[in-house]
Chains A and B, each alone.
Chain A
Amino acid sequence: MIGQTRAELLKIRSTRTTLGLALGMVAIILLFIVLSGLLSDVTSLGGAENEREYFGIGSFAGLFSALAGIMLVTGEYRFGTIRPTLLFTPRRSTVLAAKIIASFFAGLVLAVIGEVLAVGVGGAILHGRDVAVNLHGRDWALLTLGTVAGTALWGAIGVGLGMIVRNQVGAIIGILAWVFVIENLLFGLAPSVGRYVPGQAQNGLMGFNTAHLLAPAASAAVLLAWTAVLCVSGAALAARRDVS
């Protein structure tokens, strides 16, 4: 298990895929932080709730963490490395668990980079525009820890999803459509259901007070449940399916 986790961590580090994802994440977070920081008027930036959403841009790390998790699984099927991987570690649940742990760590790293960027650059912009920051100890704790914990879980969600779908393009399109279209539609049309989707659970976990969102603790439980369901389904399928 420890050996396989070391192997999975090396897989993450030894191609340029992860670097590409990290650079993509940095670009997106910077773009949104800088654009909304400079273009919004001061009134829509100030106030605790606006600031929470503004600094919450760092949680884009979650999406990139999920993409990294998806790549770690689907890349093996795309390039056929799943065959040697399973020849060395025939227990598929061990391989999957190692990938979940490795993606969790990758997610932590991405989250820390994302948060440092969002809070650092965003804070500097707000300071420059003379917007007083109204967030306090608990707010900051929820925002940063919620982003970091959530992003790590998104990595595991990506692994579970990748294991279920196996096709790289399909899994990536699937998660993008889910996060950007389906979740928003669900939350917009039926918030009593939509608040249970992982993206809204992530927002709840960070302490957003948007109407209908679950409280941080409940949101954490929902996000964990999603992670568990996807990973367990992925493991069950992996155990049964043949590798061509």
Chain B
Amino acid sequence: MAPVVRAESLTKRFGKLTAVDNLSFALEPGTITGFLGPNGAGKTTTLRMLLGLAQPTQGEALIFEQRYAHIAQPALRIGAVLEATDFHPGRSGRNHLRTLSRAVGIPDTRVDEVLRVVELDKAANRRVKGYSLGMRQRLGLAAALLGDPELLVLDEPANGLDPEGVRWLRDFLRGFAQSGHTVLVSSHVLAEVAQTVDHVLIINGGKLVRESRLDELTATMGGAVRVRSPEAAKLREALARAEIEADGHDHTLFAHGTTTERVGEIAAAAGVVLHELRTEESSLEEVFLELTAERPQ
């Protein structure tokens, strides 16, 4: 099956700064992909190029194998929210949606329908000025849903949501994807989307650092040896002499690419007291932090 979204050597430069650097990836239909990376990693710039708001410096970003601007009636196939605050404060929620629905000939009845879906029907005639951040997020989502799209692209949709809102969004996205639809959702916090997504795209400094199924992410990254010692600094030096990388804080170290046996031997040879020595499966968050630890230049 043809990918729903495809980026080919996608690059965006702003003067000397390379915001997106030779990025290539593809999204299969029916998947929920988390587009992850720290703030400033190039997520929003990538999404803007994907949605035709910005021109790539090089490469291309395609949806349904076409550039966004070339898709006939894109709002009927793709729903997107880039900012939670893209409303005129003096316009009612319903009128905001109508300014969009009228542009592409979507009937007013559909406006009322999506308002019910996002549970804003009671607030629809109030001006957006009086909406909470959560309500604004949902109004943005309602706009994206107007055309009954097969692909949803959401930039940091959980930003500023309370836990109840995050849960509502998660349930909504799962329901959306269950009907065979595709979702691309960006976040700088893996935990926000870990329970929602099945695939992850991780970028850092504009480069793709990981593209995989979520469940493969932890498995392939492997664990670390967790070692606790009152003489952690001395142990770290001994490990370094054996060319074993270790990081950590206070009395706890994580040694990478090694085994508990080897760390135990090195500690004994160096005369370092150990209080704890075990293998630790890295958590999703640790993998994420590790993959994105290098600061972009």
B100 touches which one: A80, A85, A90, A244 (CB < 8 A)? A85
A interface, how many residues as a size bin? 20 to 34
Which residues from chain A contact B85 at a C-beta distance below 8 Å? Answer: 79-80
A91→B75 CA distance, assembly (Å): 13
Contact B100 A14 (CB under 8 A): no
B91 touches which one: A6, A15, A83 (CB < 8 A)? A15
A72→B153 CA distance, assembly (Å): 27
Instruction: Tell me the minimal C-beta distance from B142 to chain A in angstroms.
Output: 11
Closest chain B residue, CB of each to CB of A80:
B86
A240→B100 CA distance, assembly (Å): 23
Contact A84 B69 (CB under 8 A): no
- With contacts A80-B83, A90-B68, A91-B69 known, is A16 near B51, CB below 8 A? no
Which residues of chain A from 137 to 151 have any CB-CB distance to chain B below 8 Å in the complex? none
B48 touches which one: A6, A14, A89, A242 (CB < 8 A)? A242
Q: Is the CB of A17 closer than 8 A to any CB of chain B?
A: yes
Contact A86 B52 (CB under 8 A): yes
Number of B residues contacting the other chain (C-beta, 8 Å)?
A: 34
Contact B100 A84 (CB under 8 A): yes
Contact B99 A11 (CB under 8 A): yes
Among A7, A8, A85, which residue has the most Cβ atoms of chain B within 10 A? A7
A86 touches which one: B53, B55, B102 (CB < 8 A)? B53
Contact B87 A89 (CB under 8 A): no
Q: Is the CB of A10 closer than 8 A to any CB of chain B?
A: yes
- With contacts A83-B53, A90-B68, A90-B74 known, is A7 near B86, CB below 8 A? no
Extra A-B contacts (5), CB below 8 Å, given A84-B143, A89-B103: A6-B102, A11-B99, A79-B89, A83-B83, A88-B103
Interface residues, chain A, CB within 8 Å of chain B? 3-4, 6-8, 10-11, 14-17, 75, 79-81, 83-91, 240, 242-244
